[in-house]
Structures are given as C-alpha cells and as structure tokens.
Amino acid sequence: MTKFEYSPALESTSVVDIKPSYDLFINNEFVASKNGSKFQTINPATEQVLAEITAATAEDVDIAVKAARKAFKSWSKLAGSERAKYIYRIARIIQDRAREIAVLETLNNGKPIRESRDVDIPLVAAHFFHYAGWADKLQYAGVGPNPTPHGVVGQIIPWNFPMLMLAWKIAPALAAGNTVVLKPAETTSLTALLFAEICQQADLPAGVVNIVTGAGETGRSIVNHSDINKLAFTGSTEVGRYIAKAAAGTNKKLTLELGGKAANIVFDDAPLDQTIEGIVNGIFFNQGHVCCAGSRLLVQESIHDELMALLYQRLDLLRVGDPLDKNTDVGAINSASQLAKIHELAASGDAQGAHRWSASCQLPTNGFWFPPTVFTNVSQSHRIAQEEIFGPVLSVLTFRTPDEAIAKANNTPYGLSAGIWSEKGSRILQVAAELKAGVVWANTFNKFDPTSPFGGYKESGYGREGGRQGLEAYLAASTDE
Ligand code: NAI
Ligand code: MG
C-alpha cells in the first residue's frame, strides 16, 4: 500500500495565551500559594517548558475547601433552574473557545489535534450541556423525590483526557448543587487553569469551583481533608486503593474509576475492514492512554492470519508525530515516566516469549514517543495480557469458540469495557451479557456520549459517570421526608 506524503498542516498556536506562571484558583481568583513551590509543565512532544505551575500545600487545599464550604451554602440553595443557567453558560463558552482549549490540550498532553478538536472538546461541551439540563430535574435522578447534594466534593483527575475528565467530574457535581475542589494531573494542568478563567467569564459565584494544582502530595491533602463530603477519583488502581483505604471509616462518599484491560473480540463473521478500523481506534486512539482501550485483541483462530496481515498493513499507514499537525494519527506519550512504563511492559512481553511487531514509522528525536506495536503469541499469563500498559501496544490472543472468548475476556482483574465484532446480532447479545465489563461496544469502539453511564467491575473501580447514573453519585436521598 502506498503511504502518501502529506505536506505539514500545522494548527496555529496563536489562539492560546500561556502565562509564564500560574497560581491557584480559589474563590474565583488566582491566588499565590501560602508556601508552595512551583514546578514546570512541558510539551511532551518537544520537551519544551510551557509554564510554571503551583504545587499546592495542605494549607492551600484547606483554604480552597473553606471557600467551597462557604459557597455551598448559597449554591445548594439556588433553584436548579438558576444553577443550570451558569452551567449552560460554561458550556457555551467552551464551544466559543473550543479551538483555544483544543490547542492548549494538545500542547500540554501530546494528543493529536484531530482528537482534541473533534473528540475531547466537543464531548466536554456536551457534558456541560447534558448536566445543565439535569439541574432542575433532580427529582428524577433515581435517589428519591427530594435529593440533596453531598456538600464539598474533592475531585482528582488524570492526564490522559485532562479537560474531558474535568467535565465528567465538575458538570454533574455542580448540577446537583455541590461545590468543588479539583486537582488536575501534574503533567496536564493548563486546560484546568483555562477552565478557571472560563468560570470567571461565566460569573460563576465565588468558591463553587476551586482548582488546586500539584502532584500526589496535593492529592493526598484533598483525600485526607476532614471537611470534604465526597471524593471522586480517576487514575491508577494503586492510588485508587490508597484513596479507598483513606476514605474507609470516614463519612466520605467515594467513586473510583480505575484502569482496564479490555478485550476486543473478533468473530470469524466480522466485517474485516470495519473491524480493522475499530481495532486501530480501540488501542491507538490517544496513544492508548485510555482506561477503556481495547488493549487485548481476541481473534477467532480461523481468521487470525488474514486479520493480522490487514492490521499490519493498516498500522504502517498511521502517521506518528507532531500532535499539532492535522494529519497526525498518533501523538506523543504524555511523560517520560509513562514512556518508561510502556518500555518496561513491552520488554516483559519479549522476555516472556511473545512476538513483537512495530510499525515502521520515524519517531521525532525530542519528546516522548513509542511506535504502534503489536504482540502476537501472547498467552493469558503474560504480563502484557494482564497489566494495563496504557500505551500504543496491542496484545493479540486467539480463541476457537464463543465460550472460550468469554472466558479469556473475563480473565483479568479488571472489567471496564469490551468490544464485540460480528455480523450476527444474537451472538453479540449473548456474548455481551456474559462479559464482566461496564461498557460493551458492538461493531464499534471507544464511543462516548454524555447520556451513557460509564464505569467498571472489579478492580476497574466503582460508581458510574455520565447520564442519570453519573448524577446519582453526587446526590443523597433527603433525610427529612
Ligand atoms: P496516578 O493514579 O498516580 O495519577 C492520577 C491522579 O492522582 C493525578 O492527579 C495524581 O497527581 C493523583 N495522585 C497521585 N498519587 C495520589 C495520592 N496518593 N493521593 C491522591 N491523589 C494522588 O496515575 P499515574 O501515576 O499518572 O499513572 C500510572 C498508571 O495508572 C498508568 O500507567 C495507567 O496504567 C493508570 N492510569 C489510569 C487512568 C485511567 O483513566 N483509569 C488514568 C491515568 C493513569
Ligand atoms: Mg502515580
């Protein structure tokens, strides 16, 4: 197949205005930390420093929680229809400033502009619109006729979908009448700080949203703050466990969205061309930094060779490189430490006897990169079949019967998502019902919608985000009925 040479089509960065240094956002103002230090945030595609960010201390977190507590009194009393006006306003500003947010996201995260522009940021706006619509209909959320918000919510989010995870957390929390202290991930704080400006622009009452930046230590200060009523976390299973332990025995409500090791199951009657696109989207979208990525391909043995030949051909056409180029399919790995993790797990695949294939692409010299990679000869006990790699690496296993596919699909500590490819509707329904996965896609993959609940089984966490179910997590049944 010919690989067409395209001229570079770079998205302009002139729409973004990155400040040299950022303070914390508390009470609708940017305020300096009491005694926190600053750290640099970089562009992972070039390793160039973009700005300095504040590492918030426990004292800063306490100030933010106090601001949120004070704001909760009036925000929770506001009519739902009035809260909705603010949330709709935020949604519209996000649409207005979509290009700016997308470029900033790509600069700080490394994801292709095509994805931040066409997937992440439109979904961010859609989430705010969706939950704005719920704000005056909370009696239908499923928690009784007169539900009440929990109070001050501490939210900790990861770096793979920085702005989208912010939306998943903040939109339902505000609609339900809670106030928020949110910490973005340390490598990708810039869009959250831009969101802080959007809160100012929307005239959101002071203290309803507070953004504290920093790494794990700042996260711990949120988790352990005694005046927080609910915690919501998305990230690693390791930190999820820590948070579950810290919250145990307190009155804090908790939702956790952790990792996954999704099976993407291809039956012998699957439409192959469509399936190839689905496999690519399943594991190479966002460099595979996706908790619900289709990282384990389960192929029916009879079509294995034909499918793999098509897949290798397709992967050789992926454009890996400058995330700001509109032709780029696969961007930069978000950090040096994530790249090291991917290398380590891929090396374990080699050592345990799997066969590695990598796309023949030229990687840029600066920045963090990993070529689209496929492992065949993978057995279920291999680390690359069990552990989340969180990178552009696909592990391929085979099966003969639907029962074998189901057994293998369910054989991980996780249970977040799965995919099924088949022309046969009855088979799809039967297999889907047996999969221990929160989301099952059929003849598609990585499709998201704000009306659809998302979340996992087992070590993938608990609670749901999105839709009515996502709202439930931010509401309690009223006690005075
Ligand atoms: P992480 O879980 O350490 O980071 C996620 C967030 O938690 C960040 O905001 C971080 O600052 C914060 N955090 C870290 N330690 C904390 C603590 N003790 N208390 C409170 N907050 C804390 O994830 P990391 O180290 O960035 O990635 C490691 C692996 O986790 C990845 O390779 C991937 O497998 C998985 N992961 C899964 C995600 C998902 O969407 N489910 C997202 C990010 C990572
Ligand atoms: Mg970590």
Are 419 and 265 in contact by the 8 Å Cβ rule? The answer is: yes
pLDDT value at residue 360: 92
Pocket test for ligand 1, best of 234, 236, 337, 386 (most atoms within 8 A of CB): 236
Note the helical H segments in 147-262. Answer: 162-175, 190-201, 216-223, 237-247
Beta-strand ranges (E) seen in 281-351 are 296-300
The angle, 0 to 180 degrees and rounded to 10, between the axes of the packed helices 162-175 and 98-109 is 130
Q: How far is the CA of 235 from the centre of ligand 1 (A)?
A: 4
In this structure, what token pair is assigned to residue 309?
């030949």
Cβ-proximal residues to 305 (8 Å cutoff; 6+ apart), any chain: none
Overall average pLDDT of the 177-204 stretch? 98
Give the ligand with the smallest distance to the CA of 159: 1
Q: List beta partners, residue 413.
A: none
Pocket test for ligand 1, best of 239, 289, 393 (most atoms within 8 A of CB): 239
* 277-301 confidence digits (pLDDT tens): 999 999 999 999 999 999 999 999 9
pLDDT at 481 over 70: no
Collapsing DSSP states into helix, strand and coil, what is residue 418?
strand
* 216-254 confidence digits (pLDDT tens): 999 999 999 999 999 999 999 999 999 999 999 999 999
* 3-28 confidence digits (pLDDT tens): 778 899 999 999 999 999 999 999 99
**Is the minimum distance from the CB of 223 to ligand 1 under 6 angstroms?**
yes
How close are the terminal C-alpha atoms of the chain, in Å? 68
Between CA 469 and CA 473 the distance in angstroms is 7
Q: How far is the CA of 246 from the centre of ligand 2 (A)?
A: 16
pLDDT at 460 over 80: yes
pLDDT at 378 over 70: yes
- Confidence class for position 412, pLDDT limits 50, 70, 90: very high
Q: List beta partners, residue 454.
A: 465
- HSE of 129 in the Cβ direction (CA atoms, 13 Å)? 13
- Backbone phi, then psi, for 406, in 5-degree steps? -65, -45
**Is the minimum distance from the CB of 246 to ligand 1 under 6 angstroms?**
no
The angle, 0 to 180 degrees and rounded to 10, between the axes of the packed helices 80-96 and 98-109 is 70
Of 42, 334, 70, the residue nearest 181 (C-alpha): 70
In this structure, what token pair is assigned to residue 447?
């499709």
**Is the minimum distance from the CB of 154 to ligand 1 under 6 angstroms?**
no
Q: How far is the CA of 152 from the centre of ligand 1 (A)?
A: 22
Between CA 422 and CA 399 the distance in angstroms is 14
Between CA 345 and CA 456 the distance in angstroms is 23
pLDDT value at residue 478: 81
**Is the minimum distance from the CB of 91 to ligand 1 under 6 angstroms?**
no
pLDDT at 448 over 60: yes
| CB neighbours of residue 144 within 10 Å | 14
**Is the minimum distance from the CB of 183 to ligand 1 under 6 angstroms?**
yes
- Backbone phi, then psi, for 37, in 5-degree steps? -95, 175
pLDDT value at residue 5: 83
**Is the minimum distance from the CB of 219 to ligand 1 under 6 angstroms?**
yes
| CB neighbours of residue 415 within 10 Å | 23
Please give the mean pLDDT across all residues of the chain. 97
Active-site amino acid positions:
257, 291
Of 374, 384, 378, 471, the residue nearest 176 (C-alpha): 471
List strands edge to edge, sheet with 209-211. 29-31, 24-26, 209-211, 179-183, 152-156, 230-234, 253-257, 461-462
Using only C-alpha atoms, the chain has a radius of gyration, in whole angstroms, of: 22
* 130-143 confidence digits (pLDDT tens): 999 999 999 999 99
* 70-108 confidence digits (pLDDT tens): 999 999 999 999 999 999 999 999 999 999 999 999 999
* 299-343 confidence digits (pLDDT tens): 999 999 999 999 999 999 999 999 999 999 999 999 999 999 999
pLDDT value at residue 1: 63
pLDDT value at residue 6: 86
Are 476 and 141 in contact by the 8 Å Cβ rule? The answer is: no
Q: How far is the CA of 236 from the centre of ligand 1 (A)?
A: 4
Overall average pLDDT of the 199-220 stretch? 98
Biggest alpha carbon–alpha carbon distance for the chain:
69
**Is the minimum distance from the CB of 165 to ligand 1 under 6 angstroms?**
no
